[in-house]
Amino acid sequence: MRPPAAKYLSAGATCTTDLVYDRIMMLRFSQLLTLLCFAGLVQAGDAPPAFTPEIQGTWHLLTAHSGNTSLAETTPALWGTTITLTDRQFTWNNPADAKTPWLDGDYQRVPPPEPEDPKKKPDPNELIGVVSGSLCPTPGASLPARWRLTDYGALLILVQREAFTGNRNGNYSGAAKADVIFLLRRDPVPAIQPADFAKDALRIVGDWSVLGEFDDANSARTRPGGHVVFTAETVEKLGPGSGKGTQGSGSYKLLPPEAKYGRIDIIENREGRSPGLYAFCGDDLLYVVYPEDQGDRVAPDQRKAVVPLQSDGNRNLWVLQRRPAKP
């Protein structure tokens, strides 16, 4: 309550008293507002950023699928490019045009639903943001994204680049044209090397970590991941641990290359001959694509190699990294 001016000054000074009082109240209000703002910042700071510190920085593209297509197959300039993450910014850099990235998003976390639905478990890293870039048909649209740090330091990010209607075949899928599913690693990704039948027969032998496994352009891998072991004649897909949890096994044969990719016949014990492709990027990064379950629909001797090097409705893809030699 404002104090009576007459108690402090003469009637002629009432205007001065009012001015002093107003300034005091404005100062107090300013102090209160500052405290409230600070409290709000502290409260906002309690929530993690869109991209937490362990994934911030520069990543290198292993593969990006959209519309059941590998984008680097249709646009080779995308191969091995970089993606930069800050606390809230996603940027797929275009080395030919630094001012116009292929995709760019400014994100924040989606708050958990209230009340929570026990039947629906939200993704722990569900984001919403404003998306732009040369691969975004509607720049400035507000669209979702999500990410997951997987085994062996690989990072999965799903970025929606345009409005989507319908049902997805998974939370981390590049089957729809509206979505791009990224598989990334910290280390640079070498260029694909021309197939060398004699050299490849030697360097394919070893134990390989599965950085990514795509079925219908969908990666539903969860921790812990598996690995693939090639001997000189056999191949075995294993789950977690060593020698446990076999998920598939058989023999294989490398064949003369087709175009820039090598050819590999995987003769799985259950499905028979699966003619696929492979590509080395250096000695320690290997891509293998093979057809899905064919059963008795196609005779083994009539099955043809899958082209191109991507996952879609007819092809599965492994992205493999050589495991360090055991001491």
DSSP string, 171-236: SSB--STTEEEEEEESS--PPPPPP-HHHHHHHT-EEEEEEEEEETTB----SS--EEEE-SSEEE
Q: Distance between CA atoms of 172 and 68, rounded to whole angstroms?
A: 13
State both tokens at 16: 């001065």
Contacts of 261 (CB under 8 A, 6+ apart): 192, 195, 277, 278, 279, 307, 309
For residue 229, what are the β-bridge partners? Answer: 207, 236
* Architecture per CATH, 53-185: Beta Barrel (2.40)
Q: Distance between CA atoms of 126 and 103, rounded to whole angstroms?
A: 18
Do the Cβ atoms of 213 and 170 come closer than 8 Å? no
- Check for a shared fold between 53-185 and 197-322: yes
Say if pTM beats, i.e. exceeds, 0.85: no
- Residue 55 is given by DSSP the state G
State both tokens at 87: 């606390």
H or E segment to which residue 15 belongs: helix 14-46
Contacts of 133 (CB under 8 A, 6+ apart): 92, 100, 101, 102, 103, 104, 139, 161
Question: Could you list the pLDDT tens digit for every one of the 327 residues in the chain?
Answer: 444 333 333 334 433 444 334 433 433 433 333 333 333 333 445 678 999 999 999 999 999 999 999 999 999 999 999 999 999 999 999 999 989 999 999 999 998 877 777 777 778 899 999 999 999 999 999 999 999 998 889 999 999 999 988 777 678 889 899 999 999 999 999 999 999 989 999 999 999 999 998 888 888 654 556 889 999 999 998 876 554 577 888 899 999 887 789 999 988 766 677 888 999 999 999 999 988 765 556 666 667 767 788 888 778 899 999 998 776
pLDDT reported for residue 33: 33
Per-domain residue ranges for the chain?
Answer: 53-185, 197-322
Do the Cβ atoms of 158 and 219 come closer than 8 Å? no
Q: Distance between CA atoms of 310 and 300, rounded to whole angstroms?
A: 22
- In the block, which residue shows the tokens 């970590």? 209
So what CATH class is 197-322? mainly beta
CA dist 251 → 255, 266, 279 (Å): 13, 6, 18
Q: Distance between CA atoms of 52 and 35, rounded to whole angstroms?
A: 27
